[in-house]
Amino acid sequence: MEKTVSMYNDIEKILVTRREIDVAVKKLGDMITEQYEGKELVMVCILKGAALFFSDLIREVSLPMVIDFMSASSYGSGTESKGEVRIKKDLDRPIAGKHVILVEDIVDTGNTIYFLQNYLKDRGAASVRVATLLDKPARRKVPLKADYYCFTIPDAFVVGYGLDYDEKYRNLPDIGILSPGVYGAEG
């Protein structure tokens, strides 16, 4: 309790509450259930940020599926990715002929997910769609439109519900804008 309270002290503004997330995730799960009936579905979690969203979302999809995990990092100076993406953990199973949904926490410049989508298409997936919890369209650098998204947010750095700053705040139940003072304190 004390720890959660102190995490909230670092949050400038709550953007999305846990309750709003629950409603949106359920709606998205229903949509996927409707659209993927009869297809060989593979839902892929992009680690680590999407882990919480993923675990909630897959339980709202009432279809047989395979789950898998990928981890990628983008190179670039500072906090901005430059489009050079490196895969740190690849899928465990082949995806040729499968219908893939890449589940991401946030699409910012779009570089990471754009790269991963093309990478999986090249490996013969029947289709590769993107489901993201948050979309920050203002900062897009590549022609990528998420097929499914829960919330569009302004150009601010957010944490919580899986999203981190320096590996912290992932366990915050809501999503909020991190106070600039916290960056300053990190130097």
Question: Which CB atom, from 36 or from 114, has the smaller least distance to ligand 5GP?
Answer: 114
| CB crowding 23-43: b at 16 or more within 10 Å, else e | ebbeebbeebeeebeeeebbb
Q: Using the rule CB under 6 A, which residue among 42, 54, 109, 150 binds ligand 5GP? A: 109
Q: Which is nearer to ligand 5GP, 36 or 148 (CB)?
A: 148
- 77 burial via Cβ count (<10 Å: 0-12, 13-18, 19+): exposed
Cβ-based nearer residue to ligand 5GP, 36 or 136: 136
Rounded least distance, CB 88 to ligand 5GP, Å: 12
Instruction: Report the C-alpha gap between 150 and 163 in whole angstroms.
Output: 15
User: Which residues ranging from 137 to 166 are in contact with ligand 5GP (CB under 6 A)?
Assistant: 157-159, 163-165
Check residue 20 for interaction with ligand 5GP (CB under 6 A). Answer: no
In the block, tokens 């990528």 appear at: 144
Catalytic residue among 10, 30, 90, 108: 108
What's the order of all strands across the beta sheet hosting 158-159? 11-16, 175-178, 158-159
ω before 168 within 30° of 0 (cis)?
Answer: no
Q: Which two tokens stand for residue 46?
A: 């992009």
Q: How far is the CB of 116 from ligand 5GP (least distance, A)?
A: 9
User: Catalytic site residue 108?
Assistant: yes
Residues marked as catalytic = 108
Contact positions vs ligand 5GP (CB under 6 A): 49, 74, 81, 104-112, 157-159, 163-165
